[in-house]
Structure 1
Amino acid sequence: METLPAHDFSMFALFMQADWVVKSVMIGLVIASVYVWAIIANRLATYARARKAMATFDRAFASGRPLADLRADYAGQEHTGLSAVFVAAMEEWDKSHAAHASTAIGLQSRLEIALDLAVSEQSAELEKRLGFLATIGSAGPFVGLFGTVWGIMNAFTAIAAAENTSLAVVAPGIAEALLATALGLLAAIPAVIAYNKLSADAGKLIARLEGFADRLVALLSRQLDAGKSL
């Protein structure tokens, strides 16, 4: 009885033997997986820096120093997080007073708009690239499944052409196809976990921005009602 040659079931060999459509799916999923981990590392570092910067600014703001002095400390620096919200409010305050438009109701309304815009900009920066994680987390398994279905179709076509249904003939084609599903899950699982974690972290930071904006509006409104300068 003729013995069939041993088949190479290493991942590289399975990839090289796969159909070009399945290869394209695999390559796309590997690239997506690498990008997912790059986003995770970037967001974790960004959120760590944001928390540190917010804590530093919060201590300075709570120290009771005049707002003009606090603004001078941050002049010429890159404004992110709480400092960006603070500078946006101070710029609107200055513009309104320069235009002699510092009525209490009008100025407070403009301050709220300026702060809302600043918070929105900072929120968008914090949530940047999270949408890609959500997309890969939801679509990755289906892309891998597409590659698997396509590969299995080709495997059965080859089996029919060879007129041989032995496991040694069927297994390589099935293994090549299933590798696509494995790669889809390899990209999707960390993407889903990271998206849930990072979305929660971003939500906490955004809530902190919104809370600071409310505190700042209240403080400036009190100073305006009392007729005090910064």
Structure 2
Amino acid sequence: MQSNSRLRHVILTSALALAPAPAFAIDAALLPRNLSPWGMFLGADIVVKIVMVGLAVASLVTWTVWLAKTIELRRKGSLALQRTRTLEGNVTLAEACARTGDARDAVAQLLQSCAREAELSGGVLDDGLRERIALRLERVEAAMSRQIARGTGVLATIGAIAPFVGLFGTVWGIMNSFIGISESHTTSLAVVAPGIAEALLATALGLVAAIPAVVIYNHLVRGIANYRALLGDASAQLMLMVSRQRDHGHFRLARAAE
């Protein structure tokens, strides 16, 4: 009886010695040491890395455009408002052009274009002159609007495609995770988790790039609309100025810069 107990003890000890190591020990060895965002980036596949770098560059472009266009809108909007207010006083076209000189801001170009048309028309104040001046002012407004809106299209593009680029990185990372499962012949979470985490990081970067781009784009569109409204006010003031000079029967020409 005692010999049978010893035999069973020996068999049990041998079986435990030959048994494979516990799954959690293998999982701990497979887990990467650094699961921070930077560590996951370094451990990601080359395609996922390219996606992440592209999204980081897109985010940098977004904030650069925001800073540049915000400064430009404030500077040009303030100058346009200042010049428009000077047109509201009792001033003639020649005096207004003399004040602007050779300036190349939007309102100055509206003044110069108006004076140029008056000069080409020989000082004849009629309905034809008003129509030609209105056409010139409309063209200058359109040109200045295109100039102030340059760069905003990039924000719209980033906001539209960044989530899909991040999703591509996610799909690629998950695909590599399943390939790793197949090659390791195990369904352990430690094998799957790092690849999925790297893939989800690509999606997060896509959202980080897209959301500010959309918000900044909408903000700049409103600012550009306000700037266009200022140019419209300046054009209206110029048309009123021409109309007043016609009613008063005098119209002095100003030499306009090309």
Structure 2 length as normaliser, TM-score?
A: 0.81
CA contact (8 A) 1:104 1:221 kept: no
- Identify the residue that residue 87 of structure 2 maps to in structure 1: 61
CA positional deviation for 1:225: 5.3
- 1:25 aligned to 2:38? no
User: More deviation in 156-165 or 102-111?
Assistant: 102-111
Rounded to whole Å, the distance in 1 between the matches of 2:97 and 2:207 is: 49
Name which of 120, 132, 139 aligns with 1:95: 120
Percent of pairs with identical residues: 38
Please tell me the residue identity of whatever aligns with 2:113.
A
Matched residue count:
226
Cα offsets for 1:56-100 (capped at 9, x unmatched): 2123222323321221121122x2232222222122222222xx7
Q: How does 1:93-172 map to 2 (within 5 A)?
A: 93-97=118-122, 102=124, 104-172=126-194
Secondary structure of the residue aligned to 2:236 is: helix
Rounded to whole Å, the distance in 2 between the matches of 1:163 and 1:49 is: 64
Structure 1 length as normaliser, TM-score?
A: 0.91
User: What residue ranges of structure 1 are gaps of 5+ in the alignment?
Assistant: none
User: What residue ranges of structure 2 are gaps of 5+ in the alignment?
Assistant: 1-21, 253-258
- Identify the residue that residue 81 of structure 1 maps to in structure 2: 106
CA positional deviation for 1:173: 0.3
User: More deviation in 8-17 or 115-124?
Assistant: 8-17
- Identify the residue that residue 41 of structure 2 maps to in structure 1: 15
CA distance 1:119–1:229, shift in 2 (3 Å): same
CA positional deviation for 1:35: 0.4
CA contact (8 A) 2:106 2:144 kept: yes
Cα offsets for 1:99-129 (capped at 9, x unmatched): x7x4613222211111011000111122111
- Identify the residue that residue 203 of structure 1 maps to in structure 2: 225
Rg larger in 1 or in 2?
2
CA RMSD, Structure 1 to Structure 2 (Å): 1.8
Rounded to whole Å, the distance in 2 between the matches of 1:110 and 1:25 is: 53
Rounded to whole Å, the distance in 1 between the matches of 2:60 and 2:100 is: 37
